[in-house]
Structure 1
Amino acid sequence: MRKISDKLASALNDDHTSRRRFFRHAFTGVAVVAPVGVLAACGDMADMDHSVSANTDQQKTSAETDFTKSKQIFHEIMKDENEHVKFLQDNLKSAARPKPTFQKLEQADIQSFVNLSHTLENVGVGAYLFAAPAVSQKTILAAAGSILTIEARHAGFLGGLLQKPLSVNGAFDKPLTQAEIVKAASPFIASLNGGPDPSAPLKSDVDILNFALLLEFLEAEFYNVNVPKLFK
């Protein structure tokens, strides 16, 4: 088994992880769809339809405004994911996988971005929980744990923002299987660029870290593509 750099141990002592505040945003306004009325009431129905449409547009605008208020946090999450990539690359050194070519990551609007962000962060949590029991070196396990807690903070924040549970699994998070992780990530990967197949058995700590690096590459690219555009 390839030995990972002792830099992992010293890196854990750096107190650079920022504390985050997590908010919940309440969205107001409920659109009501009126039934079709009699001919004599057509004028009133037209007015009602106009009101419903305006209310729906207002609700969407309100939600996007609440998301936009979290601009600073999304920039912070982007920075975290880029630092995770660099950390794994620095410690894998020449054994680090190349960056894959990604696809379908650019989102058309803030709502779509936040929804996919929530999905990816929860995949990250499940992936680190999956990998942790297979890690043999304590320093690597500690490093993975420190990244896992940050992924969970991201996921909890996004859950609150979307008015969903902070944890999709309740009080105890659950690991995903390797197949589930690969299935979630595969639609966004156009090419592995010669990197190891994420479906292959993870036989060493190097394999595990490269598996984690693939996911961190994906998350970092997702934020790098969307955050500067949507949260200027």
Structure 2
Amino acid sequence: MPDSEKTTSALDELRDDPTSRKKFLTRVGGTGGVAAMAVLLGACGSSNNSSSTSTPAAAGTTAAAASGGSEQGDLDILNYALTLEHLETDFYNKVIAAGLFKGAQADLLKHFGESEQQHVDALTATIKKLGGTPVAAPKSKFPIKDAMSVAKLAATVENLGAAAYLAQAPKIKNAEVLAAALSIHSVEARHAATLNTLIGKKITPDGAFGKPAEMSTVLAAVKPFIVA
């Protein structure tokens, strides 16, 4: 393939450009939904107008603007992630409402649900700032019967979410969107590790390296939880 036709992903940019790498490490140094929100909202400097600006947001979107069509690709990935976050948020809301967990376990699951809601808010705001239309929350249903089966389902959902972000990371063009996605991915992975421990599963079931799950696999897995 001629060099002119090659596309450079944000991962390539972070690997090859020390400046981008330093910026990435600075941005993902924080933890939790607030850090993810800050990075996501800072990823939206690309626009249709030609006026220049000195804001970090504009500086961070150079690579995306230069790789025609990449912004739409990033929007598609963000909306895919938003769909998953909507489902996770609704799942935890339904679990808490069911009252199957008490005390520290209930508090933990409530905290997880709050994190997922922050992810929803951040992704929604980012899509809008990039000029896209956020997907609506799908109607969902989950088999919430007893505490153990719910804990196992929660672990499945969180492990799947982490794998979904991992698969999309190399496809993201905007370095700041990538940094935000990875900051959310790390939280999903921590949720998964905690739930794996709760149900007696290995903290890292795939060993030293997580396995990505492609979009088709993830959507097929969550389809039973979506009301048509």
Q: When the two structures are superposed, what TM-score results if normalisation uses the length of structure 2?
A: 0.54
Cross-structure match for 1:185: 222
TM superposition outliers: structure 1 runs of 4+ over 3 Å: 10-18, 65-69
Residue 107 of structure 1: how far off its partner (Å): 0.4
Structure 2 counterpart SS, 1:96:
coil
Change (3 A) 1:68 1:115: farther
Structure 2 counterpart SS, 1:101:
coil
Q: 1:161 aligns with which of 198, 209, 216?
A: 198
Change (3 A) 1:66 1:171: farther
Change (3 A) 1:16 1:114: closer
Q: Superposed, which structure 2 residues align to 1:201-212 within 5 Å?
A: none
- Determine which structure has the larger helix proportion and give its number: 2
Larger-gyration structure (1/2): 1
Kindly tell me the number of residue pairs found equivalent between the two proteins: 139
Change (3 A) 1:110 1:74: same
- State which drifts further: 173-182 or 131-140: 173-182
Cα distance in 2, alignment partners of residues 79 and 151 from structure 1: 12
Residue 111 of structure 1: how far off its partner (Å): 1.4
Cross-structure match for 2:152: 115
Q: CA RMSD in A?
A: 3.0
User: Are 2:127 and 1:92 equivalent residues in the alignment?
Assistant: yes
Cα distance in 2, alignment partners of residues 16 and 129 from structure 1: 18
User: Are 2:147 and 1:73 equivalent residues in the alignment?
Assistant: no
Q: Superposed, which structure 2 residues align to 1:7-86 within 5 Å?
A: 69-86=104-121
Cα distance in 1, alignment partners of residues 27 and 147 from structure 2: 34
Change (3 A) 1:189 1:113: same
For the 8 Å contact 1:67–1:110, the answer to whether it is kept is no
Unaligned regions of 5+ residues in structure 1, if any? 1-9, 19-64, 192-232
Structure 2 counterpart SS, 1:164:
coil
For 1:168, give the aligned amino acid.
P
For the 8 Å contact 2:151–2:195, the answer to whether it is kept is yes
Cα distance in 1, alignment partners of residues 115 and 207 from structure 2: 25
For the 8 Å contact 1:100–1:190, the answer to whether it is kept is no
Cα distance in 2, alignment partners of residues 67 and 162 from structure 1: 16
Residue 184 of structure 1: how far off its partner (Å): 0.7
Cross-structure match for 1:141: 178
* Percent of residue pairs identical: 30
